[in-house]
């Protein structure tokens, strides 16, 4: 009930800010009022290294007129402060208008809704001491796994978000989010050979996520991986046929295609897909979906950060580029329907088109057959990182590890393998899609803002791509 | 006429942030902390964004907050709030003491730092013209950037994305051992990307400039350079690959040595055995052409300051002397643990976290020759202008994509590169620096000229 009361108070404050802005002379205004609490527990070698509690509370407000936006933010949530910031942000928009040369309007439907999130076990129902106990157990697991584990590092994070969104089109939305995360990164050493393992679990939920089998044993699985990597070799660079595991396929899908489908790229002419909407961009057995409405995933939400109701997006349907990821501005300017893809990191940031849970749809190969069918190449697994530049059409991703494939059989373990390619070329190089699918939690950065997300897909095979070795 | 005032005096006076810090320290001790440290910042930033050649957005961000580190025995707790209201930071103090008590003691923790001597005098950190910059002036600077970009693209269609961001802030730190310091900092940055189209071909490039002195900004240089580079990038091709010399231009050298080496000399990573240069202190780990100084005292440096994230005085630290690893970068925790001098390398970009370790101005000592000279000396090789990759910090393995670069033949740039990567371990990379140029770029806290690496495995396809 507390949060419901909070939402009613916020509605009142939001209206004050929006009305002050409109009265100052702008045509559109919106506001996000956010109350976020986080706890971070970091344990290294069995010792607390960082125990952090935080509260972040504030409002971000935008004003718009004739193609000029202004954004301001405040942590003072009093009625007077709301009126003041409404006026000052509107004045900044009016001042900016005289310098703009593109004119447009912001239009769209309005939404009303309250979406309370009820995890099975709320973070505040577990004591800090019990949380430390859990993290310590994970850290100990990793250290006790093998004497060659020389350093353990365990990171626990929980974030509870209450978000109220309103705009001058009439939108009034309250949403809650709850994100737990556990990461284990042990270091192994044998002689001068050092390796680092990495495992993480995150979903949308409460403390119960830490009681899942994979979360309870994450120290062991990360240590196991760090030990296994001691036998890995750096791969010799070259052009290979590669099979990507679900986690890595997810990152390729996200980097090579997802970002290029974010509609702000059309306004900035910054994507090689600009002229491809409705056109064939890959083979007909290839479909890519972005879906924030799936339950319990790290990138899930009911309404986006502009208050637009979330919906499933078919970015690529049977090889054809179908749908883009929109904010209110991109849908207004491109004459398309808003589809709830505007996200912001916090109240201090402007919402921009982002992905949520993005994945390649499964095909009909079995992953075992896929390997057996590959005469020579690499199976690449796990994610280090990825990045893309849609305006150049290039993307890069790096696998945590992989295996050489010779005559359809897996051989030598390799590590830290980068793959680089072109957005417009890569989909047509995919010649086989497996029927297995897995999703993995991640975090995506764009224009200095990070948002939680999920990526995934089935095993896929890509023919002849350059692989960077060491 | 809209008056916009970025003046710091409006945000927070130095003595106000310091008062909050000192008061919060005593409150933390009253709440049961044995030692306490409080960091307070109040910053204001203004930015203006251009999309498709037109100004679109102006942002006015004010960010103030308090971070409290409480020590109970050898147990540490930290809490922060995004306001400087007393009721909010009092709540955070209570939390930080509470979670310190519930944490696991760290036997290696000795104490927060103390210091009673003189602090270095570092000039050029606060240009009052930066907080006085009006939106109209900012708009003019960014329009000049865009105009310069548009003039350089010739017959191609172009869309310019550009941004000017100015920020100024006051920062205070106090601890229960007597440290009590405050400072004002300001900086301004212009970045610009030129996205060009020619029939079906598209490419882009970007340029930027970041400085603590408003008069140093050169919007025409930023805009025209981004466009010149973008035009030059049209028509990327793959190459045969093989073992070739690789020239890292300053932007690429900055990413690889900044992320990939400055992070490896973090004493905490070394103490935990998580760095690829663990056990290397005093050893020849790089070629003799490479010397690196971490200099927090550099006048106007983006990484400069008289004290570090724990209020301890900063210094000039010789990290690499003709290839020999002379010193790691320490904060109070790692210095106490190894019983060595604290290099004043605690870093704390904001109130929102526990201080870690980082380089200040990581300066690669220049050699001789411009980038053109270095290119002219290569018979067959590649020029890496930019990359987004960083090494595995534990193994040192680096597998890097050349996101902007050229193929070199007989001392000349032949064509831009596409789908081209190089792979090398950082230990080997450091040893293979055969030549250091003198084309130093200063607008970052990693200050480096171009570097030439002999014999690197290059893959393309």
Among the partner residues B81, B193, B420, nearest to A54 by beta-carbon distance: B81
What residues of chain B, 398 to 427, have a C-beta less than 8 Å from chain A? 398-401, 403, 418-425
Q: What is the pLDDT of residue B1?
A: 28
Question: What are the residue ranges of CATH 3.30.2290.10 in chain B?
Answer: 8-230
Closest chain B CA to residue A73: B61
Q: What is the pLDDT of residue B6?
A: 40
Q: How many contacts, defined by CB atoms under 8 Å, are there between A and B?
A: 267
Nearest chain B CA: its distance from A249 CA (Å): 18
Contact B253, B387 (CB under 8 A): no
Q: Which residues contact A333 (CB under 8 A, 6 or more apart)?
A: A104, A267
Chain A positions in Cβ-Cβ contact with residue B422 (cut-off 8 Å): 237, 468
End-to-end CA distance of chain A: 57
Among the partner residues A151, A393, A420, nearest to B272 by beta-carbon distance: A151
- Calculate the CA A137 to chain-centre distance: 28
Strands B397-401 and A313-317: unpaired
From the number of C-beta atoms within 10 Å of its C-beta (0-12, 13-18, 19+), residue B3 rates as exposed
What would the DSSP string read from start to end of A350-415? --EE--SEEEEPP-SB-HHHHHHT-SEEEEEEEEEEEEEETTTTEEEEEEEEEEEEETTEEEEEEE
Report the C-alpha gap between B44 and B11 in whole angstroms. Answer: 7
The predicted-structure confidence for A393-438, as pLDDT tens digits, reads as follows 999 999 999 999 999 999 999 998 999 999 999 999 999 999 999 9
Report the C-alpha gap between B10 and B3 in whole angstroms. Answer: 13
CA-derived radius of gyration, chain B: 24
Q: Which residues pair with B422 in a beta bridge?
A: B400, B458
| Beta carbons of B76 and A51 less than 8 Å apart | yes
For chain B, the residue count is 461
Q: What is the pLDDT of residue B263?
A: 96
Nearest to B417 by CA among B194, B178, B240, B298: B240
Contact A443, A422 (CB under 8 A): no
Q: What is the pLDDT of residue A7?
A: 74
Mean confidence (pLDDT) of chain A: 95
Chain B positions in Cβ-Cβ contact with residue A127 (cut-off 8 Å): 102
Report the C-alpha gap between B204 and B191 in whole angstroms. Answer: 13
Among the partner residues A136, A194, A389, nearest to B276 by beta-carbon distance: A194
Fill in the DSSP letter of residue A305: T
Half-sphere exposure of B461 (CA within 13 A, CB side): 17
Other residues' Cβ atoms within 10 Å of the Cβ of residue B289? 15
Q: Which residues pair with A189 in a beta bridge?
A: A194
Q: Which residues contact A159 (CB under 8 A, 6 or more apart)?
A: A36, A37, A38, A177, A178, A179
Backbone angles phi, psi at A411, to 5 degrees: -125, -130
Q: What is the pLDDT of residue B8?
A: 40
Contact A457, B388 (CB under 8 A): no
Q: What is the pLDDT of residue B12?
A: 53
Contact A266, A358 (CB under 8 A): no
- Calculate the CA B329 to chain-centre distance: 15
Strands of A449-457's sheet in order across: A320-321, A313-317, A288-290, A357-360, A449-457, A438-446
Q: What is the dihedral of CA A290, A296, A298, A303, to 10 degrees?
A: 60
Contact B255, B401 (CB under 8 A): no
Choose the CATH number for B8-230 among 1.10.1040.10, 3.30.365.10, 3.40.50.300, 3.30.2290.10.
Answer: 3.30.2290.10
Q: Which two tokens stand for residue A269?
A: 């002419």
Chain B positions in Cβ-Cβ contact with residue A334 (cut-off 8 Å): none
Full set of structural domains in chain A with CATH? 2-229 (3.30.2290.10), 233-468 (no CATH)
Report the C-alpha gap between A323 and A302 in whole angstroms. Answer: 19
Nearest chain A CA: its distance from B317 CA (Å): 26
In terms of phi and psi (left: phi > 0; alpha: psi -120 to 50; beta: otherwise), the region of B455 is left
| Beta carbons of A415 and B397 less than 8 Å apart | yes
The predicted-structure confidence for A297-325, as pLDDT tens digits, reads as follows 999 999 999 999 999 999 999 999 999 99
Among the partner residues B54, B241, B422, nearest to A100 by beta-carbon distance: B54
Q: What is the pLDDT of residue B4?
A: 37
**Residue A2 scores a pLDDT above 70:** no
Fill in the DSSP letter of residue A325: B
Contact B183, B125 (CB under 8 A): yes
Report the C-alpha gap between B365 and B361 in whole angstroms. Answer: 12
The helix/strand/coil state of A115 is strand
Strands A320-321 and A342-343: unpaired
Report the C-alpha gap between A469 and A234 in whole angstroms. Answer: 6
How large is the average pLDDT for residues A344-354?
97
Contact B163, B191 (CB under 8 A): yes
Nearest to A377 by CA among A461, A285, A286, A314: A461
Q: Which two tokens stand for residue B194?
A: 């030129």
> From first to last of its 461 residues, what are the pLDDT tens digits of chain B?
233 344 444 445 778 899 999 999 999 999 999 999 999 999 999 999 999 999 999 999 989 999 999 999 999 999 999 999 999 999 999 999 999 999 999 999 999 999 999 999 999 999 999 999 989 999 999 999 999 999 999 899 999 999 999 999 999 999 999 999 999 999 999 999 999 998 888 999 999 999 999 999 999 999 999 999 999 999 999 999 999 999 999 999 999 999 899 999 999 999 999 999 999 999 999 999 999 999 999 999 999 999 999 999 999 999 999 999 999 999 999 999 999 999 999 999 889 989 999 999 999 999 999 999 999 999 999 999 999 998 999 999 999 999 999 999 999 999 999 999 999 999 999 999 999 999 999 889 999 999 999 999 999 99
The helix/strand/coil state of B89 is helix
Nearest chain A CA: its distance from B18 CA (Å): 20
| Beta carbons of A391 and B195 less than 8 Å apart | yes
| Beta carbons of B55 and A129 less than 8 Å apart | no
The helix/strand/coil state of A142 is helix
Report the C-alpha gap between A165 and A119 in whole angstroms. Answer: 22
Chain A positions in Cβ-Cβ contact with residue B99 (cut-off 8 Å): 51-53, 128
């Amino acid at each position: 009930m507390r949060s419901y009361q909070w939402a009613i108070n916020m509605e009142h404050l939001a209206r004050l800010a929006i009305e002050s802005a409109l009265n100052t002379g702008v045509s559109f205004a919106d506001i996000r009022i956010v109350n976020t609490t986080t706890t971070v527990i970091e344990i290294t070698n069995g010792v607390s290294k960082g125990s952090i509690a935080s509260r972040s509370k504030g409002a971000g407000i935008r004003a718009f007129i004739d193609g000029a936006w202004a954004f301001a933010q405040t942590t003072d949530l009093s009625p007077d402060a709301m009126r003041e910031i409404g006026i000052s942000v509107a004045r900044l928009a009016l001042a900016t208008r005289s310098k703009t040369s593109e004119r447009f309007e912001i239009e769209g439907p309005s939404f009303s809704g309250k979406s309370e999130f009820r995890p099975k076990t709320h973070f505040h129902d577990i004591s800090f001491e019990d949380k430390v106990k859990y993290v310590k157990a994970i850290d100990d697991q990793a250290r006790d796994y093998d004497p060659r584990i020389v350093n353990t590092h365990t990171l626990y994070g929980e974030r509870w978000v209450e978000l109220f969104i309103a705009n001058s089109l009439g939108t009034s939305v309250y949403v809650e989010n709850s994100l737990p995360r556990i990461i284990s990164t042990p270091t192994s050493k044998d002689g001068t050979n050092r390796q680092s393992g990495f495992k993480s679990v995150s979903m949308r939920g409460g403390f119960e996520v830490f009681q899942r089998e994979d979360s309870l044993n994450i120290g062991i699985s990360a240590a196991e991986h760090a030990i296994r990597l001691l036998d890995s070799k750096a791969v010799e660079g070259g052009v290979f046929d590669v099979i990507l595991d679900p986690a890595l396929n997810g990152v390729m899908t996200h980097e090579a295609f997802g970002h290029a489908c974010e509609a702000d790229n059309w306004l900035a002419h910054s994507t090689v897909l600009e002229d491809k909407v409705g056109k064939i961009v890959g083979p007909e057995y290839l479909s890519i979906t972005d879906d924030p409405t799936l339950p319990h995933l790290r990138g899930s939400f009911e309404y986006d950060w502009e208050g637009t109701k979330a919906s499933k997006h078919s970015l690529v349907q049977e090889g054809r580029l179908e749908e883009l990821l929109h904010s209110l501005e991109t849908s207004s300017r491109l004459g398309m329907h808003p589809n709830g893809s505007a996200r912001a990191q916090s109240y201090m940031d402007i919402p921009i088109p982002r992905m949520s849970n993005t994945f390649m749809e499964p095909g009909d190969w079995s992953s075992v057959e896929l390997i057996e069918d590959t005469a020579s190449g690499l199976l690449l697994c796990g994610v280090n990182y990825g990045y893309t530049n849609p305006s150049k059409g290039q993307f890069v991703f790096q696998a945590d590890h992989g295996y050489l494939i010779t005559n359809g059989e897996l051989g030598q373990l390799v590590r830290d393998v980068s793959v680089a390619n072109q957005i417009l070329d890569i989909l047509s190089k995919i010649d086989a899609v497996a029927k297995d699918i897995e999703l993995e939690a991640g975090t995506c950065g764009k224009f200095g803002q990070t948002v939680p997300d999920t990526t995934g897909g089935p095993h896929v095979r890509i023919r002849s791509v350059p692989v960077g070795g060491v | 006429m809209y008056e916009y005032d970025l003046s710091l005096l409006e945000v927070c006076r130095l003595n106000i942030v310091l008062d909050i810090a000192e008061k919060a320290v005593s409150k933390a001790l009253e709440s049961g902390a044995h030692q306490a440290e409080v960091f307070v910042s109040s910053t204001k930033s203004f930015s203006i964004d251009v999309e498709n050649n037109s100004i679109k957005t102006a942002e006015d961000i004010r960010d103030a907050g308090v971070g409290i580190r409480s020590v109970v025995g050898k147990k540490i707790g930290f809490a922060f709030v995004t306001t400087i209201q007393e009721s909010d930071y009092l709540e955070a103090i209570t939390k930080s003491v509470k979670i310190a008590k519930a944490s696991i003691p760290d036997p290696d923790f000795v104490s927060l730092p103390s210091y009673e001597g003189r602090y270095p005098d570092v000039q050029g950190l606060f240009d009052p013209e930066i907080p006085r910059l009006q939106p109209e002036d900012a708009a003019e600077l960014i329009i000049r950037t865009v105009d310069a970009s548009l003039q350089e693209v010739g017959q191609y269609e172009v869309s310019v994305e550009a941004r000017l961001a100015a920020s100024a802030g006051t920062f205070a730190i106090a601890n229960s051992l007597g440290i009590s310091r405050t400072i004002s900092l300001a900086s301004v940055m212009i970045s610009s990307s030129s996205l060009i189209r020619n029939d079906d071909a598209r490419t882009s490039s970007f340029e930027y400039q970041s400085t603590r002195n408003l008069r140093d900004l050169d919007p025409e240089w930023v805009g025209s350079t981004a466009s010149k580079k973008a035009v030059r990038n049209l028509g990327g091709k793959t190459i045969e690959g093989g073992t070739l010399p690789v020239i890292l231009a300053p932007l690429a050298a900055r990413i690889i040595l900044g992320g990939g080496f400055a992070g490896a000399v973090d004493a905490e990573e070394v103490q935990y055995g998580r760095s690829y240069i663990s056990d290397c202190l005093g050893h020849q780990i790089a070629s003799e052409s490479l010397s690196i100084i971490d200099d927090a005292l550099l006048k106007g440096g983006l990484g400069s300051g008289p004290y570090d994230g724990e209020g301890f005085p900063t210094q000039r630290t010789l990290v690499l002397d003709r290839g020999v690893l002379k010193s790691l970068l320490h904060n109070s925790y790692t210095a106490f643990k190894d019983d060595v001098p604290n290099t004043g390398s605690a870093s704390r970009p904001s109130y929102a976290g526990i201080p870690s370790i980082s380089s200040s101005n990581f300066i690669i000592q220049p050699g001789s020759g411009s980038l053109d000279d270095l290119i002219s000396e290569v018979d067959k090789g590649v020029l890496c202008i930019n990359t987004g990759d960083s090494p595995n910090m534990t193994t040192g393995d680096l597998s890097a994509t050349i996101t902007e670069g050229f193929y070199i033949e007989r001392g000349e740039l032949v064509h831009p590169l596409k789908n081209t990567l190089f792979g090398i371990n950082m230990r080997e990379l450091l040893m293979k620096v055969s030549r250091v140029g003198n084309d130093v770029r200063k607008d970052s806290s990693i200050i480096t000229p171009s570097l030439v690496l002999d014999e690197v495995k290059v893959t393309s396809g």
